[in-house]
Every structure is written in structure tokens, then in C-alpha cells.
Amino acid sequence: MRVFGVTGSSQVATVYMAEMDEGRLIEFVEALQPPYPRDERWVLMISTLFGCPVKCRMCDAGGRYRGKPTVEEILSQIDYMVDKWYPDRRVPARKFKIQFARMGEPAFNMAVLSALEALPTRYHAPGLIPSLSTIAPKSADIFFARLAEIKNHLYSDGRFQFQFSIHTTDLGLRDWLIPVKKWDFGEMAAYGERFHYPGDRKLTLNFALADGMPVDSDVLLHYFDPERYLIKITPVNPTYQAQCNGLTSYIDSDNHREQNEIAAQLMEHGYEVIVSIGEIEENQIGSNCGQYVLNYLNHKTRIKNSYTYKVQKHIPNEVMHDHNHRPGG
């Protein structure tokens, strides 16, 4: 793996761009959760595919699919970030989250399961919490069956986070947003019943909420028990695809009243709700949406109000350890 570019701030988030065999490009990210320091909370976001075949309407990773990383190529992304800060691979963070959620739908790559099996012995990290986010593609039943077994064997007692990416309760709009065959809500609910054991974290229903995308509490209650599921509402990130498809975020840092109304309606029905806006600087960096930076490098254009950090390219090893990256104009 050759890291050829980096952007961001070590105090918030850093995006790394790397080239694997056959010139295939990948991205991975490390982030903090201010005001917590790295030895309290540290989040790594890694890619599970080279691009993605799904082509979700708000995601820039689609359309450049070039196959599946091997287990070593997946783990090499984690190794790079861990070795940078903790060469002995002893990670002290009380919450050390590894999210399989940068570029690609993880359920399309069985090597993700092998990576999950390797993590507990590869690093000394008592705070390790893997996190997997999925659209639940129809073709991945074997993946999900094995995932449940691995979770129960290696990550019981709340040490694993599982998330369904739903985005709306309107089935027609959901099919438009995520244009592949996938589980319906009934199939998701049936898997959740098999997956969730006493002591596990609640499963997350994620809504990257765009204007005009309904979130119907009655529909959710029909399938998803508030005792087993929590709801996370996030903005639609300012990507090229979101702009091309006319998607604007329903929530933002200046829209607290409407965000609270949505959350209040869901909480009235018994759901735990997280409205996760994140740091504004993450939008400027581009750390919260897969393959934006690669699009930026190719198109040489900017998105209004977003992603203003400079990308440093062809970085020698000694520069990679200088963490004082500054925002560009």
C-alpha cells in the first residue's frame, strides 16, 4: 500500500488516500470526537471495496467499482493509522471504534469477516468496538449469518455496533436512493431478532435525512422494537452525487428546531434518538463521506460551502508524521 495523499487536521479528522495493487485507489480516515483526546475516543473508518457498485444517490463512491480488497488490504489501512500513533499496537483509548463504513458496502466482501476475526489478536486494544453499517443487500445472507456468529463469539456484551442504513420509511423513495435489491423491513427485523442478544448494543437505524424523505414512526414501530433499536439521524453530506440528484440535507447545524421536532416525535414512541451533526470542520475536511477527495482530485472543482482543506500529494514518509495540516482557501 502506498499512501499518496492526505488532508485534514489531527485535532479533528485526517483522510488518507492510498494506492493498492493494480493501481486501485482506496481511502481511510482517523477521527477524534472533540473534546475527547485520542486516548479517550479514537475512530478509524476503513474501506471495504475499491469504489462501490451500489451507486446510492448521495454517495460519491459509486460508479468506480474495481473489486474487493483482500483481508490484508483491509487490515493494512488499520495498521497504517495504528502504527502512526502506537507503533507497539497497544491502543489505550477507552473507546476505540473501527468503522467498516468508508468506501463500499461491507456485506459484498467476505474478507471483512476475516478482518473482524483478526482484530482482537492483532492489536492490544481493550476499548475495541467494531462498527458495521450496511444497506442489507439481498445477496449477502451468508455474510450476515457469519457476522452474527463472529459477533457472538468475539464481541459479545456490547462490544459490537451494527447499523442498517435506511434513509427513509417510504419504500419507493428508498429504492430510488439505494438502487439495488435489498432486504425489506420485515427481513431486517427478522435478522435483528436473531442478531441481538441480551447485553448487546441496540441495533441502529440510520437516516441520512434529505428534504422530502419521510420518517414515519408507525412504519418503524411495526417492524422495529424500540427495546432493540435506536434511531440515528444524520445530515446528507455535501457530495457531488447529492448535488446532481437534487438532495439537500433536512438537518444542519443551524436547524435545531426541526431536528428536535423529528427526534421528539420518535422519542414519544419510545425510541432512543441520536441527532448526529458532527463537527462542521469534518465537512471542510471531507472525512465524513467516502471518495469525495478522489472526486475532487479528478474534477478539480469545489462544492459550495464544503471541503476546503488542501490535499497534500506525493507525501514522503517524514511529512506523513507532520500533523499540522492547515485548511486551504
Tally of structural domains, the chain: 1
Stretch 221-233: mean pLDDT, rounded? 96
268-325: per-residue pLDDT in tens?
999 999 987 655 445 444 445 555 555 555 555 444 444 445 556 544 443 333 333 3
Least Cα distance to 118 among 63, 78, 158, 161 occurs for 78
Residue 137: inside a domain:
yes
How does DSSP classify residue 11? T
Determine the pLDDT at residue 315.
47
Q: What is the CATH number of the domain that holds 297?
A: 3.20.20.70
8 Å CB contact between 112 and 106: yes
Residue 209: inside a domain:
yes
26-80: per-residue pLDDT in tens?
899 999 988 899 999 999 999 999 988 998 888 877 767 889 999 999 999 999 9
Stretch 124-128: mean pLDDT, rounded? 97
8 Å CB contact between 129 and 97: yes
8 Å CB contact between 164 and 186: no
Residue 326: inside a domain:
no
Determine the pLDDT at residue 306.
43
Mean pLDDT lowest for which of 89-98, 122-131, 182-191, 297-306? 297-306
* Domain around 109: 2-320
Determine the pLDDT at residue 162.
98
Residue 327: inside a domain:
no
Q: What pLDDT band is residue 137 in, cutting at 50, 70 and 90?
A: very high
Residue 311: inside a domain:
yes
Residue 46: inside a domain:
yes
Between 226 and 252, where is the model more confident? 226
How does DSSP classify residue 210? B
Grid cell, residue 262, equals: 423529528
161-183: per-residue pLDDT in tens?
999 999 999 999 999 999 999 99
Residue 163: inside a domain:
yes
Least Cα distance to 262 among 254, 270, 273, 252 occurs for 273
184-224: per-residue pLDDT in tens?
999 999 999 999 999 999 999 999 888 889 999 999 999 99
Determine the pLDDT at residue 310.
56
Radius of gyration over every alpha carbon of the chain, rounded to an integer in angstroms: 19
Residue 325: inside a domain:
no
Least Cα distance to 289 among 8, 19, 59 occurs for 59
